Amino acid sequence: MRLSYSESERALAEELRTFLAGALPQLPPRPHPGDWDARRRYDTTWQRMLFEAGYAGISWPRAYGGREASPTEQLVFLEEMNRANAPYVGVNFVGTLHAGPTIMAEGTEEQRRRFLPPILRGDVVWCQGFSEPGSGSDLASLRTRAVRDGDEYVVNGQKVWSTYAHIADVGELLVRTDPDAAKHRGISWLVVPMDSPGITIRPIRTIAGPSEFCEVFYDDVRIPLGNRVGAENDGWRVAMVTLGFERGTAFVGEIMEAVKLVRALVEVAARVTRRSATAWDDVGLRRDVGRLAADFDALWSLTAWNVSEASRDGVPGPGGSVLKLRLCEAFQELATLGMRVLGRAGLSQEDVDGLGSAHLVEEYLRGIALTIGGGTSQIQRNIVAERVLGLPKEPAWTSS
Ligand SMILES: Cc1cc2nc3c(=O)[nH]c(=O)nc-3n(C[C@H](O)[C@H](O)[C@H](O)COP(=O)(O)OP(=O)(O)OC[C@H]3O[C@@H](n4cnc5c(N)ncnc54)[C@H](O)[C@@H]3O)c2cc1C
């Protein structure tokens, strides 16, 4: 891909700036993180506004409501959204960034027409039901069982850490359809309506405060066979496509958050005074922040590579693990610098002395989870070692 913009790409940037200048003031104030109904309303309203303006699903085919933009145009879109401090996908994360793209790559034409347009219109919120209490990194050991009964599956089991399940309409669900096959072979990928009888959802409170994810129990939940994406027992391969999108391109939003955090940290550091100087006068701090800001710049270029690769091959490659690994670790380093700047003010989740400290504390707490969600850093290192660098596979005993 080219890294400088053509005339038409610059025109798109201009068009986006005009749209954002008109649209953003129409949004209500951002809701409190714990007010889930308001958060859902806010994020789906923004999604609908993007859809009506023709910017939802920027890279998706027009047949499903998208704009069929080139990789460079996608980056122009993301840059302008970032520049205007526009909301990112929020609770539409799973639908827009990995369930939708998986259905596009692996679903039937009927499934694409049924599931994709409502995502772009902001009509439905998705969640992900992959992890189980005994199956996180070793996801292929999952035990939630689906048994065929006529033209339906009957599902029994438990999922955990299902982000946004309590406000979701549908979920991407991994189930075991052949308990006798080797563990990677007997899995299927289903779409589950979250209001199906037999589903119990219990939100889990996190260290940061709001209950962002849930444990979900499935008791004799009936799911039509027509909701299976990919062939029966081929769900592991489909799940790898989902995780490729989740790690490769879906983390773009976190780079934008990281860049915003750099700005916020610099502003707070200029306000924090120590004796006769401010925290920002500390050369060591400025060097550390500068180094991380350069990292985020480099990660943005890596994102350009991933977006380009995904649009050429249909799905992102294992290089997405490189992005996820460094981005999440760099984010944590930055958030830790924020706590160093705050000193004792970092002990409160409320704003202290009008410093703007609450945001830094919130990002520090949120950042702790980043190196776990979407696959831990250790697992990303394994993937990079085996699939990018071609090193020998890890011994079988660790994954059996
Ligand atoms: C913010 C957040 C959101 C999430 N959202 C969802 C969601 O929406 N849906 C969903 O299904 N799941 C979700 N998850 C769950 C996430 O995918 C799992 O937490 C993750 O895969 C790790 O699994 P685990 O928690 O069971 O840890 P474990 O797999 O038990 O790992 C424990 C430790 O052992 C290490 N380890 C394990 N195996 C190996 C190995 N082979 N080599 C080296 N080290 C290893 C791990 O790196 C980790 O440090 C979310 C998690 C977080 C934090």
- Beta strands, E only, the chain: 126-129, 145-149, 152-163, 170-176, 187-193, 199-204, 213-224, 228-229, 273-274, 277-278
**For residue 68, which phi and psi values (nearest 5 degrees)?**
55, 40
Instruction: Report CA(36)–ligand 1 centroid distance (Å).
Output: 24
Express each pLDDT in 327-379 by its tens digit. 999 999 999 999 999 999 999 999 999 998 999 999 999 999 999 998 999 99
In this prediction the pTM is 0.91
Per-chain mean pLDDT for the chain: 92
Express each pLDDT in 258-299 by its tens digit. 998 999 999 999 999 988 899 999 999 999 999 999 999 999
d(CA 94, CA 109): 20
Assign residue 45 a region (left: φ > 0; alpha: ψ between -120 and 50; beta: otherwise). Answer: alpha
Instruction: Report CA(139)–ligand 1 centroid distance (Å).
Output: 9
Contact indicator for 221, 155 with CB cutoff of 8 Å: yes
> Residues for the chain: how many in total?
400
Task: Give 23's DSSP letter.
Answer: H
Q: Which of 214, 372, 386, 398 to mutate to test the pocket of ligand 1 (most atoms within 8 A of CB)?
A: 372
**For residue 39, which phi and psi values (nearest 5 degrees)?**
-65, -40
**Dihedral of alpha carbons 167, 89, 260, 27, sign:** negative
Radius of gyration of the chain (CA): 22
Catalytic residue among 73, 106, 132, 246: 246
| Residues of the chain above pLDDT 70, percent | 97
Q: Is the CB of 131 under 6 A from ligand 1?
A: yes
Contact indicator for 229, 107 with CB cutoff of 8 Å: yes
Tell me, yes or no, if 362 is annotated catalytic: no
Q: Is the CB of 6 under 6 A from ligand 1?
A: no
Instruction: Report CA(161)–ligand 1 centroid distance (Å).
Output: 9
**Dihedral of alpha carbons 68, 74, 80, 85, sign:** positive
